[in-house]
C-alpha cells in the first residue's frame, strides 16, 4: 500500500499547522509503508519509504489580479501533480490548495480520496482580504472535494461538528484523528541562545505569542490586551508572515502604540526555526493563544510539551487540547452572530485575556504546576505514532472496501 500526499506546505516551506502535520505524519507513516509527497516548491527528498517532490510555478505570464495568482497557481500545480504519473493506492489531501489535485486523482486514476480538514473556508471569511474573488472559488472547491471524498478526517471533535453543520458528508465517511506532536523534539530545553539573540532577559518572566499575523490567530486582540496586564514582565510576540499588507500595517501600529507606554514588548517579526521556538516555549512563563478560530491549535500542544502554562481562547479544537484549570486557562469569547469571528465586545475580550495572563504570571508555582500537567497530557494523548497508526488503519479499510465493490 502506497499513499500519495498532496499539499501546499512541506518543509522548509511551512507557515502553519497543516505543514507541521504533513511533515510529521508523512515521516511517521513512512516507517511502515511507502509515502510520496507532492508539494508546492522545489523540494526533493528520497529517504527510505519517503519521497518528496516539489512542484514549481512560473507565474511570469499571469496578468490576472494579484490576489488571484495564488488561486490559479494552485490549480496549475494540482494539474501538474496529476500529469506526472501516479502509482499510489490512495491520495490524501491537505488544505484547499491541494483539493483540485485530489479530485483529479480520484476521477482519473480511480484512487480513494482522503482529506484532512485543518481549517474550513466558510469559517475564515477574512481570507477575502487575501484572495478577493478567489475566496469564493476556495469555498466552492472545498465543498466539492469534501462531499465527494471517500474519507474526511477532522483534526478535532469541534472540527467534525463544523463539517457536519456545513457540508453534506455521510457520517460513515467522517472521522476524528487528532493532530499530534513529536515529543522528543518538543521538550523543555535549558538553552537561552535565542533569548539573548532577540534581546529577551532570561532573568525576567515573559508572556509569549507564536503565530502568523492573521485575523484567525487573534494577535491584534492580544496586543490590545497589553494595556490591562500587570507591569514587570516581558511580552514576546513571535509573529510574522502577515496575510495582507493591511493587517501587517495594523499590527505594526498596534505594537508601536503599546511600546510607547510599556517597556519590555519585544516583537520578533519573522517565522523562526524549530530550535528557536522551542527555546521560547521552554523559558516563557505563560504562552497565550488568542485565536478566534482554531480547528486544533497545535501551538498550544507545542507549548504544553515544553512544560509551559497556557492561556487560550475557548474555541474549536483548543478546548480538546488545553484542559481548563489543569494545563492552563480557557478564555470564553462572545462572538457576534452577524460576524461570528469577531468578539461582540472586543474590550471585554481583551480584559479577559489579560486577567488570566495576570493570574498566572504572578503565580510561578501555578505556572509550574500547569506546565508539568501539560507535558503529561501531551505524552498521553498526542503522540504521532498513534496518529499514524489510526491513519494507516483508515487507509486499509478504504482499500478493503474498494476491493469488495
Closest to 246 in 3D by CA, of 126, 358, 110 = 126
Task: Provide the pLDDT for residue 127.
Answer: 86
pTM: 0.78
Q: What are phi and psi of 327, to 5 degrees?
A: -110, -5
Task: Provide the pLDDT for residue 341.
Answer: 65
Task: Provide the pLDDT for residue 215.
Answer: 86
Provide the 8-state DSSP code for 226: G
Give residue 400's pLDDT band: very low, low, confident or very high (50, 70, 90): very high
> What is d(CA 364, CA 8) in angstroms, rounded to the nearest whole number?
41
Give the β-pairing of 206-212 and 234-240.
parallel
Q: 288-339 pLDDT, tens per residue?
A: 999 998 888 889 999 999 999 999 999 989 999 999 999 999 999 987 666 6
Q: What angle do CA 191, 196, 200 make, to 5 degrees?
A: 105
Residue that has been written with the C-alpha cell 522528543 in this structure: 184
| Residue 393 CB partners (closer than 8 Å, separation 6+) | none
Q: 28-86 pLDDT, tens per residue?
A: 999 999 999 999 999 999 999 999 999 999 999 999 999 999 999 999 999 999 999 99
| Residue 284 CB partners (closer than 8 Å, separation 6+) | 206, 207, 208, 236, 303, 308
Task: Provide the pLDDT for residue 336.
Answer: 64
Task: Provide the pLDDT for residue 242.
Answer: 87
Domain definitions of the chain by residue range: 3-180+383-403, 193-381
Higher per-residue confidence, 129 vs 112: 112
Check if the beta carbon of residue 301 is closer than 8 Å to that of residue 321.
yes
Give residue 243's pLDDT band: very low, low, confident or very high (50, 70, 90): confident
Check if the beta carbon of residue 222 is closer than 8 Å to that of residue 288.
yes
Q: What are phi and psi of 167, to 5 degrees?
A: -135, 160
With a cut of 90, say whether residue 163 has pLDDT above it: yes
Q: Which fold has domain 3-180+383-403?
A: Rossmann fold (3.40.50)
With a cut of 70, say whether residue 380 has pLDDT above it: yes
Q: Half-sphere exposure of 18 toward its Cβ, with a 13 Å CA cutoff?
A: 26
With a cut of 90, say whether residue 282 has pLDDT above it: yes
C-alpha cell at 166: 456545513
Provide the 8-state DSSP code for 297: -
Task: Provide the pLDDT for residue 147.
Answer: 98
With a cut of 80, say whether residue 361 has pLDDT above it: yes
> What is d(CA 327, CA 335) in angstroms, rounded to the nearest whole number?
24
Give residue 126's pLDDT band: very low, low, confident or very high (50, 70, 90): confident
> What is d(CA 96, CA 112) in angstroms, rounded to the nearest whole number?
17
Which homologous superfamily does the CATH classification assign to the domain defined by 193-381? Glycogen Phosphorylase B; (3.40.50.2000)
Q: Tell me the DSSP string of 214-273.
A: SGGGTHHHHHHHGGGSPSSSEEEEEEE--SSHHHHHHHHHHHHHHHTT-S-EEEE-S---
Equal CATH topology for 3-180+383-403 and 193-381 = yes
Check if the beta carbon of residue 7 is closer than 8 Å to that of residue 95.
yes
C-alpha cell at 180: 499530534
> What is d(CA 221, CA 218) in angstroms, rounded to the nearest whole number?
5
The Cα-based distances of 240 to 12, 27, 140, 182, 188 in angstroms read 16, 27, 29, 23, 24
Give residue 191's pLDDT band: very low, low, confident or very high (50, 70, 90): very high
Mean confidence (pLDDT) of the chain: 94
Closest to 354 in 3D by CA, of 170, 196, 207 = 207
Least confident residue range of 44-58, 192-206, 390-404:
390-404
Task: Provide the pLDDT for residue 124.
Answer: 86
Q: Tell me the DSSP string of 140-172.
A: HHHHHHHHH-SEEEESSHHHHHHHHHHS---GG
Task: Provide the pLDDT for residue 170.
Answer: 96
With 0-12 / 13-18 / 19 or more C-beta atoms within 10 angstroms meaning exposed / middle / buried, residue 263 is: exposed
For the segment 375-397, the average pLDDT, to the nearest whole number, is 93
Amino acid at each position: 500500500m502506497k499513499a500519495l500526499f498532496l499539499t501546499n506546505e512541506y518543509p522548509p516551506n511551512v507557515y502553519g499547522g497543516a505543514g507541521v502535520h504533513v511533515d510529521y505524519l508523512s515521516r511517521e507513516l513512512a516507517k511502515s509503508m511507502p509515502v510520496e509527497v507532492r508539494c508546492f516548491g522545489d523540494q526533493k527528498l528520497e529517504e527510505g519509504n519517503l519521497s518528496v517532490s516539489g512542484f514549481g510555478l512560473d507565474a511570469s505570464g499571469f496578468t490576472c489580479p494579484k490576489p488571484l495568482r495564488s488561486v490559479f497557481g494552485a490549480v496549475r500545480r494540482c494539474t501538474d501533480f496529476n500529469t506526472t504519473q501516479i502509482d499510489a493506492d490512495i491520495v490524501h489531501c491537505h488544505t484547499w490548495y491541494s483539493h483540485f489535485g485530489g479530485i483529479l486523482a480520484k476521477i482519473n486514476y480511480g484512487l480513494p480520496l482522503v482529506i484532512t480538514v485543518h481549517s474550513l473556508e466558510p469559517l475564515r471569511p477574512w481570507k477575502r482580504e487575501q484572495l478577493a474573488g478567489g475566496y469564493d472559488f476556495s469555498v466552492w472547491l472545498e465543498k466539492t472535494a469534501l462531499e465527494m471524498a471517500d474519507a474526511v478526517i477532522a483534526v478535532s471533535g469541534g472540527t467534525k461538528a463544523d463539517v457536519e453543520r456545513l457540508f453534506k458528508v455521510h457520517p460513515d465517511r467522517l472521522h476524528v484523528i487528532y493532530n499530534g506532536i513529536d515529543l522528543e523534539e518538543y521538550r523543555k530545553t535549558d538553552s537561552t541562545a535565542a533569548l539573548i539573540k532577540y534581546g529577551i532577559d532570561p532573568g525576567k518572566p515573559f508572556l509569549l505569542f507564536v503565530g502568523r499575523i492573521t485575523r484567525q490567530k487573534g494577535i491584534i486582540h492580544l496586543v490590545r490586551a497589553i494595556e490591562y496586564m500587570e507591569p514587570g514582565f516581558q511580552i514576546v510576540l513571535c509573529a510574522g508572515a502577515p496575510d495582507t499588507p493591511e493587517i501587517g500595517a495594523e499590527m505594526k501600529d498596534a505594537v508601536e502604540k503599546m511600546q510607547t507606554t510599556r517597556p519590555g514588548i519585544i516583537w520578533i517579526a519573522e517565522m523562526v526555526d524549530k530550535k528557536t521556538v522551542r527555546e521560547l516555549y521552554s523559558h516563557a512563563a505563560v504562552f497565550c493563544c488568542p485565536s478566534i478560530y482554531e480547528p486544533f491549535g497545535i501551538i498550544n500542544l507545542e507549548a504544553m510539551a515544553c512544560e509551559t502554562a497556557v492561556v487560550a481562547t475557548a474555541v474549536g479544537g483548543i478546548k480538546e487540547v488545553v484542559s481548563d484549570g489543569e494545563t492552563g486557562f480557557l478564555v470564553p469569547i462572545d462572538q457576534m452572530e452577524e460576524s461570528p469571528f469577531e468578539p461582540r465586545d472586543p474590550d471585554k475580550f481583551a480584559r479577559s485575556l489579560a486577567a488570566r495572563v495576570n493570574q498566572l504570571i504572578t503565580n510561578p508555582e501555578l505556572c509550574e504546576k500547569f506546565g508539568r500537567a501539560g507535558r503529561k497530557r501531551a505524552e498521553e494523548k498526542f503522540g504521532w505514532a498513534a496518529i499514524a497508526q489510526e491513519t494507516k488503519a483508515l487507509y486499509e479499510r478504504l482499500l478493503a472496501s474498494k476491493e469488495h465493490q
